[in-house]
């Protein structure tokens, strides 16, 4: 059957002003074909104005097993949110 | 959707470490219980992974083989409007197959392996696509009934516990509703047409009704996977529940068309507030599933032929990519 073409992750900008967002993946022989396939697979209904593709093997992801170590330190820092601070109601524009 | 390239071998637990396995299993069960999504790199029990690979692959194969019965009518669509719509629909089915193969690959199976299983006949796909499309009315009946049943099946999968599958289904369901509406519109045009057109519409309903309601799979009593899949929140409703919903919404639509559902036992039941159907002939379902439907061989032959005839294109593209490796241009 032969090997698959390399895998690419696809990111689409829905309209100008928005960030590119991950939408899925596909196989393609090279980057240009990946863009063309992404057009056909992910933008049949004007879902985008710009496409990024990146080889999946180039993405470095955090390990779910380490999620606690990575994200736990932010959990008790509620003072980073504006609602942490008590301001009297009559004070405006804060 | 992240795939094998990103699959870290998750369990840091040695095979003999029963305590570690039990802890992972417990955490997985709790996450399912809380309706959290499971993502590709998360630990999951092997049976969950295998069940998903099987189900998502079958689903993908169904989309791909499902292009064939309707593709049969593209060159003979009765107007340019019907033709562009049918092309768009068939193209969507191809796209849906691609989303689903990507989702399956996040579980660690290669696309080439899935394709091979389809082409050598090991993989299953929805048995509905092994029936022929004899007249233009069949294109209407497929959109109305087959896509209608598919939507009924797929909407709950948008909430499936496995993230990539759920996300693919959201995308698919969004695109699918035009499929059903265009089918109903074809049926409506025929039902309001000449006597001959009305009889074409009735004939199509006669042939597609039973296979469509069998699409929900065996009844709950004999469904081997339902209970486990519901515990894992891959499935949210049983086959019979979904089938009943489909019958309840479809019967009034047939009445609107002035067509008759080919089931003399069909009746409205005041007590349960449901339409009750006659007995389903499961022997036919099993025969088609086992490869003895009217078009099983033809469908696989068409897929194999397409694969063979595309070989030189794939090889040329790979050769071109290899030649230009490292010389590619970049765009911002």
**3-state per-residue secondary structure call for chain B:** CCCHHHCCCCCCCCCCCHHHHHHHHHHHHHHHHCCCCECCCCCCCHHHHHHHHHHHHHHHHHHHHCHHHHHCCHHHCCCHHHHHHHHHHHHHHHHHHHHHHHHHHCCCCCHHHHHHHHHCCCCCCCHHHHCCCCCHHHHHHHHHHHHHHHHHHHHHHHHCCEHHHHHHHHHHHHHHHHHHHHHHHHHHHHHCCCHHHHHHHHHHHHHHHHHHHHCCCCCHHHCCCHHHHHHCCCCCCCHHHHHHHHHHHHHHHHHHHCCCCCCCCCEEECCCCEEECCCCCHHHHHHHHHHHCCCHHHHHHHHHHHHHHCHHHHHHHHHHHHHHCCCCCCCC
Q: How confident is the model at residue B6 (pLDDT cuts 50, 70, 90)?
A: very low
| Model pLDDT, residue B15 | 57
Q: Say what the pTM is.
A: 0.90
Instruction: Collect all residues of chain A within an 8 Å Cβ-Cβ radius of residue B3.
Output: 7, 25, 56
* pLDDT over 60 (residue B29): yes
CA distances from B168 to A23, B107, B202, B308 (A): 9, 14, 34, 28
Residue of A nearest to B3 (CA): A56
* pLDDT over 50 (residue A8): yes
How many CB pairs (< 8 A) connect A and B? 82
* pLDDT over 80 (residue B269): yes
What is the mean pLDDT of the segment spanning B85-93?
97
* pLDDT over 80 (residue B1): no
Instruction: Collect all residues of chain B within an 8 Å Cβ-Cβ radius of residue A31.
Output: 328
Instruction: Collect all residues of chain A within an 8 Å Cβ-Cβ radius of residue B328.
Output: 30-32
What is the mean pLDDT of the segment spanning B161-171?
96
Q: How confident is the model at residue B290 (pLDDT cuts 50, 70, 90)?
A: confident
Range of lowest pLDDT (A32-41, B87-96, B320-329): B320-329
* pLDDT over 80 (residue B224): no
| Model pLDDT, residue B13 | 53
Mean of per-residue pLDDT scores for chain B: 92
Residue of B nearest to A67 (CA): B42
pLDDT in tens, B117-155: 999 999 999 999 999 999 999 999 999 999 999 999 999
The answer to whether A45 and B175 are in contact (CB under 8 A) is yes
| Chain B: closest CA distance from residue A76 (Å) | 22
| Model pLDDT, residue B325 | 82
CA–CA dist A15, A9 (Å, integer): 19
| Model pLDDT, residue B14 | 56
Question: Could B5 and A7 be called an inter-chain contact, meaning their C-beta atoms sit closer than 8 Å?
Answer: yes
Instruction: Collect all residues of chain A within an 8 Å Cβ-Cβ radius of residue B175.
Output: 44-45
Question: Could B10 and A64 be called an inter-chain contact, meaning their C-beta atoms sit closer than 8 Å?
Answer: yes
Out of B98, B168, B314, the one facing A26 most closely (by C-beta) is B98
* pLDDT over 80 (residue A45): yes
């Amino acid at each position: 059957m032969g090997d698959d073409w390399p895998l690419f992750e696809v990111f689409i900008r829905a309209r100008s002003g928005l960030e590119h967002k991950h939408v899925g993946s596909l196989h393609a022989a090279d980057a240009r074909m990946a863009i063309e396939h992404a057009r056909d697979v992910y933008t049949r209904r004007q879902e985008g104005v710009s496409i990024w593709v990146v080889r999946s093997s180039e993405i470095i992801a955090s390990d779910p097993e380490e999620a606690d170590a990575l994200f736990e330190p932010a959990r008790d820092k509620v003072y980073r949110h504006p609602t942490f601070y008590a301001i009297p109601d009559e004070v405006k524009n804060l | 959707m992240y795939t094998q390239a990103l699959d870290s071998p998750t369990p840091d637990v040695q095979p003999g470490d029963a305590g570690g396995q039990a802890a992972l299993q417990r955490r997985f069960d709790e996450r399912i219980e809380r309706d959290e999504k499971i993502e590709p790199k998360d630990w999951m029990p092997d049976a969950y992974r295998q069940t998903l690979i099987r189900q998502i692959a079958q689903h993908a194969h169904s989309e791909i083989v499902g292009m064939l019965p309707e593709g049969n009518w593209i060159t003979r669509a009765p107007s340019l409007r019907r033709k562009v719509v049918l092309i768009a629909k068939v193209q969507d089915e191809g796209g849906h197959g691609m989303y689903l193969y990507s989702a399956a690959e996040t579980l660690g199976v290669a696309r080439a392996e899935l394709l091979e299983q389809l082409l050598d006949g090991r993989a299953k796909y929805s048995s509905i696509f092994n029936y022929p499309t004899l007249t233009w009315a069949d294109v209407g009946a497929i959109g109305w009934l087959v896509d209608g049943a598919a939507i009924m099946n797929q909407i709950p999968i948008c909430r499936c516990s496995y993230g990539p599958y759920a996300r693919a289904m959201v995308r698919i369901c969004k695109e699918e509703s035009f499929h059903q509406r265009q089918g109903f519109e074809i049926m409506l045009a025929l039902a309001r047409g000449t006597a001959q057109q009305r009889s074409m519409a009735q004939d199509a309903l006669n042939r597609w009704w039973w296979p469509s309601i069998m699409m929900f799979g065996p009844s709950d009593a004999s469904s081997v996977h339902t209970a486990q899949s519901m515990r894992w929140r891959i499935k949210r409703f049983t086959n019979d529940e979904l089938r009943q919903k489909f019958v309840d919404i479809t019967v009034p639509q047939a009445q609107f068309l002035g067509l008759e559902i080919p089931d003399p036992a069909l009746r409205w039941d005041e007590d349960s507030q449901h339409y009750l159907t006659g007995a389903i002939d499961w022997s036919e379902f099993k025969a088609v599933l086992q490869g003895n439907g009217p078009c099983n061989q033809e469908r696989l032959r068409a897929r194999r032929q397409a694969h063979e005839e595309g070989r030189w294109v794939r090889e040329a593209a790979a050769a071109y990519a290899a030649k230009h490796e490292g010389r590619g241009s970049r765009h911002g």
